Amino acid sequence: MIFSRRSFIGAALAGATMLAGTAALAQDTIKVGVLHSLSGTMAISETTLKDVMLMLIEEQNAKGGILGKKLEAVVVDPASNWPLFAEKARELITRNKVAATFGCWTSVSRKSVLPVFEELNSILFYPVQYEGEESSKNVFYTGAAPNQQAIPAVDYLMETEGVKRWVLAGTDYVYPRTTNKILEAYLKAKGVKPEDIMINYTPFGHSDWQTIVSDIKKFGSAGQKTAVVSTINGDANVPFYKELGNQGVKAKDIPVVAFSVGEEELAGVDTKPLVGHLAAWNYFQSVDTPENKAFIEKWKAFTKNPKRVTNDPMEAHVIGFQMWVKAVEKAGTTDSEAVIDAMVGITVPNLTGGYSAMMPNHHITKPVLIGEIQGDGQFSVVWQTPGLVAGDEWSDHLEGSKELIADWRKPMSCGNFNVKTGKCGGRSS
């Protein structure tokens, strides 16, 4: 086929017009990154967080979007592969040009992406409880810090259950190890003897729990009240809880309080043998508030599945997303620097009643709740704080951390300011 010069120019102009139109169309949406594992060992927990982000984005678009533009979700699957999280984060920021990213579950995935968000000055909303010992300008931590989950849970077991011996059981990575380091120091400061603390770690996806549960039973047979504090993550929880049931470990004998098991994880387990075991979170589906009832109805309608449950990290995404929308509207732009500056002090309703606020250390205020597992896989709230608790980024119970604070407001703008020396450590974590 032979083209004339005129037809060639016409085709080129048409192509340019199409490209311009495509560019204009791209500029008409604000892209939001969704960085959650949809496959691998963490998919059991993270898939539902992807789904709730799609719901929140759809809802916001129905309200007209933000700054006159519709939102566009960009979903990637880092597949429970920690180095792949960093690759996918870079792809979201540099190729897809997302304005902010909502994602990660494990601390090792967050640690993987942190240098990427800091290097490219982009924003990550992290929705899951974690070990603390970090505060980054580019991360907003909407999950619980240890003082908003782990410490209150131990206090509850000590004061209400009279627990004297402690099993700290976790998956072998940074969150359980650092959280247990904090808890071990806290327990010893409370007078617990070293021989009354048993610590155990297992790899991701661990499935053979027979020996470990047997060891827990033996440790708990010394005549003193024993409890398991569980930082086991992902799909390893299913065989762990099944083995507890198989070996007849009842809550009245050795209660388990979990920090990473919610309604979603229990959906795959026969919960009848687990009734009375505990979880510490900042939200449960069973919370009876008008805000939560409305959220549950919207969730079931969005998923078209009346059996789909809600959980704590979902609420953290609800809070973080609402805060981001308000900060963008306040700043009048999606520019990261402007939004980061606008975030501190933003308050939004949470689902348990009241308002959560973004603090200068990029952590939020949250209530703390202890729930008992019920036969239907839900939790009955047995204890909660009278008000909201502000998240501590640096632990008061670890040497080298108790002197540090974070404040990202200018002019301090520091993630680890030492109150004794009056100097910033020059790093975020």
Q: What angle do CA 133, 310, 320 make, to 5 degrees?
A: 45
CATH number for the domain whose boundaries are 147-288+370-390: 3.40.50.2300
Gap between the Cα atoms of 329 and 342, Å rounded: 9
The closest alpha carbon to 56, from 263, 264, 325, belongs to 325
User: Taking 70 as the threshold, does the pLDDT of residue 387 lie above it?
Assistant: yes
Query: Which residues, 6+ apart, have CB-to-CB distance to 122 below 8 Å?
Result: 93, 98, 100, 101, 116, 138, 336
What is the arithmetic mean of pLDDT over 106-111?
Answer: 96
pLDDT tens digit string along 13-64? Answer: 344 444 334 333 446 899 999 999 999 999 999 999 999 999 999 999 999 9
CB 273, CB 358: distance < 8 Å? no
pTM, entire model? 0.90
Residue 83: phi and psi, rounded to 5, are -60, -30
Amino acid letter for position 325: V
In the DSSP assignment, the letter for residue 208 is -
% of the chain exceeding 90 in pLDDT:
88
> pLDDT by residue (tens digit) across 66-90?
999 999 999 999 999 999 999 999 9
The helix (H) or strand (E) run that includes residue 416 is: strand 414-418
Which residue spans of the chain are classified as CATH 3.40.50.2300?
24-145+293-366, 147-288+370-390
Beta bridge partners of 32: 73, 100
Query: Which fold is adopted by the domain 24-145+293-366?
Result: Rossmann fold (3.40.50)
403-406 contacts at long range (C-beta below 8 A, 24 or more positions apart): 405/361, 406/135, 406/360, 406/361, 406/362
Average pLDDT of the chain, as a whole number? 92
